[in-house]
Chain A
Amino acid sequence: MAAAQVRIPAQAKKGEVIEIKTRIQHDMETGLRKDSAGKTIPRLMLKSFVCKYNGTPVFEADFDTSVSANPMMSFFTVATESGKLEFIWTDDNNVAVKEEASITVA
C-alpha cells in the first residue's frame, strides 16, 4: 500500500543525538473532500507513527487531517546502543507499514 523510506546514520558515538528522517507515500485522504460528482471521498489517513529503538518507543506521533499527503518527518534520538530501529505507521483501518534500520554505536 505504501512505500516508506527512513534515513539514519549507520554509525554514531554513544550518547550522540542523531537525526532520523522518514518519508512514506500516502494520500492522507481527509474524508472532507468531494469528488467531481459531489460524493464525499472516504477518509483514509495514517493515524499514528512510532519509532522504536531496540523495542523502546522513542518518538510517537498521532496525526489528524491537517498533515500533508506523503508525510515526511524528521526528529531526533540519542544513540544509546547498537541495534535496530523500527518505524511503524498505522492507518485508519489498522493496516501497518513497517520499516527497519540498524545502527552501530561505538
Chain B
Amino acid sequence: MSCELKSPGINRREMLTASAALLAFAAVGAPVREANATPAEVADAIKKLTNNAAVKPGKVALDLPDIADNGATVPMKVTVESPMTDKDHVKAIHIFAEGNPRPVVMSVKIGPRAGKAEFSIRIRMAQTQNIQAVAVMSDGQAFSGKKEVKVTAGGC
C-alpha cells in the first residue's frame, strides 16, 4: 500500500482498471469447462456406432426423471422391446447425451442370453438436454428412444 501514500489519485485509477479487468475476466473467463457436445456430434456418433443404419423411432423406452436435481448422478433405465430369442434379439444398446462434454455415454453388448433387453445405471448430466438410446437388433435394424431431462445443477 506504499503507492497510496505517494499518489492516491493514481492508486484510485489503478484500482478501477484492476476491478474492470476482473469483471471482464469474470464475464469471459468464467466457464472453464470445455465445450459440450452438439446434436450434430451425436448424430455422427450414432451413424458410426450403428453402421449407418436408418434409425427408426420406437421400441426403446428411456426411463429418466423429468427434472434432475443433481446432474452428477441421474438414474437411468433403458428397456428395449424384443423377444430376445436366438433369431430375434437386441445386439447392442448405445446411449448418447447431446449436452455433455462427450457425446457417447456408454455402449452395451447383449444377446439372447440376457433374456430381457433392459439395464439400469446412473449417468452424469452437465445441463438440461436430450438423452438418446439407440438399440441395434440382430437383423441390423436400429431403433431409438429419446427423453429430455431438465438439470438443476450440472455434474460433469
List residues 73-110 of chain B with CB under 8 A from any CB of chain A: 73-74, 95, 97, 100-102, 104-110
Q: Does B13 contact A (CB under 8 A)?
A: no
Q: Does A25 contact B (CB under 8 A)?
A: no
Pick out which of these stretches binds chain B: A72-80, A89-97, A98-106: A72-80
Select which of A30, A53, A57, A66 is within 8 A of B106 by beta carbon.
A66
Q: A86 to B64, alpha carbons, bound, how many Å?
A: 29
- Min CB gap A35→B, angstroms: 11
Q: A51 to B124, alpha carbons, bound, how many Å?
A: 23
Q: How large is the interface on A (under 10, 10 to 19, 20 to 34, 35 or more residues)?
A: 20 to 34
Q: How large is the interface on B (under 10, 10 to 19, 20 to 34, 35 or more residues)?
A: 20 to 34
User: Known contacts A32-B33, A69-B73: does B111 contact A58 (CB below 8 Å)?
Assistant: yes
User: Known contacts A66-B100, A66-B123, A69-B73: does B106 contact A61 (CB below 8 Å)?
Assistant: yes
- Min CB gap B8→A, angstroms: 34
Q: Does A41 contact B (CB under 8 A)?
A: no
Q: A60 to B119, alpha carbons, bound, how many Å?
A: 11
Cβ–Cβ contact B115 & A77, under 8 A: yes
Q: Does B21 contact A (CB under 8 A)?
A: no
Which B residues lie within 8 Å of A68 (CB)? 72-74, 121-124, 155
Which B residues lie within 8 Å of A80 (CB)? 113
User: Digit string of A43-65 for contact with B (CB within 8 Å is 1, else 0)?
Assistant: 00000000001001111111111
Cβ–Cβ contact A64 & B118, under 8 A: no
Cβ–Cβ contact A64 & B106, under 8 A: yes
Cβ–Cβ contact B106 & A63, under 8 A: yes
Q: A21 to B154, alpha carbons, bound, how many Å?
A: 27
Cβ–Cβ contact B102 & A71, under 8 A: no
Which B residues lie within 8 Å of A75 (CB)? 108, 110, 114, 118-120
Nearest opposing residue in chain B for A34, CB measure? B32
- Min CB gap B149→A, angstroms: 12
- Min CB gap A48→B, angstroms: 10
List chain A positions with a Cβ less than 8 A from chain B. Answer: 17-18, 30, 32, 34, 38, 53, 56-69, 71-78, 80
List the 3 closest A-B pairs by CB distance, nearest first.
A17-B115, A78-B115, A68-B122
